[in-house]
Every structure is written in C-alpha cells, then in structure tokens.
Amino acid sequence: MKTLFKKCIVTVLALSLTLAVWLKPGTGTVYAAASSVSGTNAIQGMPDGFARGVDVSALTALEKSGTKFYYLDGSKGDMFDILSGAGVNYVRIRIWNNPYDSSAPYKPYGAGNCDLYNAKLLGKRATDAGMKVFIDFHYSDFWADPEKQFAPKAWADYSLAYKKDAVYNFTYNSLKELLDYGVNIGMVQIGNETNGSMCGVGGLYDGVWDLSSGVAALMQQGCYAVNDINKLYGRSMLKALHFTDLVERGEWYAKCVNTLGVDYDVFSTSYYPMWHGTDSDLAKKLTNIAKTYNKKVMVAETAYPYTYENFDSQNNNVGDASGMVHNNYNVSVSGQAKALHDVFAAVAKVNETKPGYGIGAFYWEPGWIATDSSTWGTCGSGWATSATGNYEKLYSNSVKYYSTVDGGSTWDNMTLFDKNGKAMNSLYVFNDICGKTSRTSSGIF
C-alpha cells in the first residue's frame, strides 16, 4: 500500500457513524469506522477461528472483465484488502475439473472458469491477505447442485469403481498442488449440494436417494484423500460434506452418512433466508445434527437481495417478490445486513448446546456484479457461456440446466457491492458481529 496523503478527505458515513483511525505499520494512516457500519450488533458464542467467510470464485474472471472494487467511501482497493478490512477471515473457492469445451477453440464455460489454476491464484491471494481457504470440489466440469450432478467429461464412461479412484486422485493431487503453491487450506468440501446424488451417481440417476448406491462411497474417497494429505503435510484440514434444504432433509442426510460410515468432520448446508426457512429453523436443525452425530456444523452458502433491480440483460435468480418463498427481511441494504447477521447468530447459537461446534458461515459471491455483455463469453464473467450446452448434451438430449448462449450475472442484486463495485454497508457485518473496527477507506482516491 502506498504512503497515504496526510490530507485525505473521508466521506462521513451514514447514520452519523463515529470515525476512528486505524494504523497499519509502515503504510500510513487509514480512516476506519469505530462503530457498527452495517447497523447490526455483536454476537455472542463465536469461538476463536469462527469462519466469517465469502465465496469469491468468480473474481478472476470479473477482474479480467475490467471490474474494479472500492471501499465504502469510494476509494480504490484490492478485493482482498477490502474484504479483510470488513472482517472477512475465510474464503471459499470452487473447483471444477475441466470447465472448457472439448473441441477447438476450447471456449470456457464461464461462471469464473473455476479450474484448479483459478483456485491457486485466488487461494494464494487470500492466504497473502491473512485468510484461510475453503476448497469446494464439485467433481463436475460445471455447476453441480440438487438438480444436476454430471460427472466430468473425462469420467463420463467410468464405472463406480473407476469414479472412486478418480475422486481420490483428483482430490489428492489438487490439494497437493494448492498446498505446494502456498495456499493455506483450512477446510475441504467433498461434493457440492449433494442431496442424494454426486458425480453422475445416486438418486438423479438410479432413484436411490439415501447415498447407498455409491454417493457415500465417493464421499469417503474424497475424505481418504484429505486424510492422506493431512498426514503428508502435517496439517489438520477439516473434511466437509455439503447439502441443502436443511429444514426439510438435513437431519435425514446426516443420518444417512452416519449409517454408511462416512468419516467426515463438518456438516455444511446452503441456507438462503428467502428460500429455506427462518434463522430459528437453521439454529435448531444445526444444533440437532451437532448433538446427535457429534459433527461440527456451518453454513457453506448464504445470500440475500438488497434490491429487485437488475443491472444487465440476464434474469436474476430473485427478480421480484415471486422469487421469495419467505419474506423475513426487507429487500434493502439494511435488510440484507440483518439477514446475514442472523445467519451468523444462528450458527453461533449451536455453541450454547455444543460448544465449539458451530464454526461459521460463508456469503456466496458478494462481488459478482454485472459486467459488459462482451465479456461474458470471452472472460467467463457471466453465469454460463454457450459452450456449457455441449457439456450437458453429453448426458441428455436437450440443454435444460446450462446454456446455448453467453449469459450474464444472475446474482447482481444479491452482492455486497453495488453495481459500480463499491462496498455497501452490509459488507461490514463480518466485523460488526465481533464488535471490531472496520477499515472503510484506502485513503487513495
């Protein structure tokens, strides 16, 4: 960081927030907010190391598209400096096996083009910013979730036995490469939103939803790989499984993996307040799982809209009130901040019953703002490119879940940065829940 001008003009924060001075040794003076920037209060019951995280997997593509990010006062900043100044201490990064078309010109699939190389770049930047890294293996070449769990192209014809070996080897080799590159990995996610299916195996493909037809076996291979890497490097990376629809099915999936003997550490869930119930539901279900199965618990993904406005031509996941199953919070910056605060509070509440077992939450893609449509296909800054349809057609007769055209951001109204890339007050929940001072300016305009 450059030496700062002595006479920096700092924007006075809304709500007449008190300003204090934060000093980073050897860099000069940077102005910071001494009281709550987001308007939320501190939370009790968060143990040391409680994950106050974000998923920024698409960041490289966004930056290649020309996207810039700014502190609350509009001063320039690197994304990781801005996040660190807001209290973020953990970064989640997804990995797809090969998110590129199989024939020339090998067009990327988009949504960040999240291969191992991207994870190395972002993981090292996060590490250098003092954050831990949470690696999210999808075991697919593109989005994997409860509606689709396509195997990577290279594994399309593999039997279950071959897929078990492939999951182990890909996990082991990827983690080794990341660690050798200097990435500080704290947790590893084995599969993404694996509600009964994973890597072309399970309920979506054979009608068996309890993980017994191969999903648990694949999960275990991923866990074996983490165990072996931990032993090789003398580390203690946590092994996380990831499900969604916690209120309806979470305890059942926890029972399934317990019955099938999967050796993991953390039960993680996607929890979006507009779709998945109340924060009380979240706290209750996570507490039950922690108590019953002696597993740490956390929220791997959460988000909430701050507006219904759309900033590009791509439809958003939540475009109006009809996309909100639950309306527990205002659709505003302050409502977004309250929603995120309550997710952290719900996870922390687990520690009242099971101390140390509620370990944190991650906000999903807080920086995925809209970009120029010319960058969607070339840089991968949109949710999918036209090449993704080719991948889906390896497994189906039509393109239903991916795309045959280049698409934009479906998330630009659920970010923690405004349409111009400037941090909003809601970003500072990460420090406010700890009662810590936030850094809201670089001092360089």
Q: Annotated active-site positions, please? A: 193, 301
Token pair 């694949």: residue: 218
Distance CA 445, CA 435 (A): 28
Please give the single-letter amino acid code of residue 147.
E
Among candidate residues 287, 292, 161, 298, the one with its CA nearest the CA of residue 241: 298
Query: Residue 404 — φ and ψ, nearest 5°?
Result: -115, 5
Query: Residue 442 — φ and ψ, nearest 5°?
Result: -85, -20
- Partnered with residue 377 across adjacent β-strands are none
Hey, how many other C-beta atoms are within 10 angstroms of the C-beta on 418? 16
What letter does residue 422 receive in the DSSP assignment? Answer: B
Distance CA 88, CA 125 (A): 13
Cβ-Cβ contacts under 8 Å for 179 (sequence gap 6 or more):
185, 229, 233, 235
Helices (H) and strands (E) in the chain, counts: 12, 15
What letter does residue 444 receive in the DSSP assignment? Answer: -
Distance CA 334, CA 350 (A): 25
Among candidate residues 135, 50, 46, 79, the one with its CA nearest the CA of residue 366: 79
C-alpha dist (Å) from residue 383 to 143, 181, 406? 10, 28, 8
The H or E element spanning position 239 is strand 238-243
- Partnered with residue 253 across adjacent β-strands are none
Query: Residue 244 — φ and ψ, nearest 5°?
Result: -135, -175
Token pair 């050798």: residue: 180
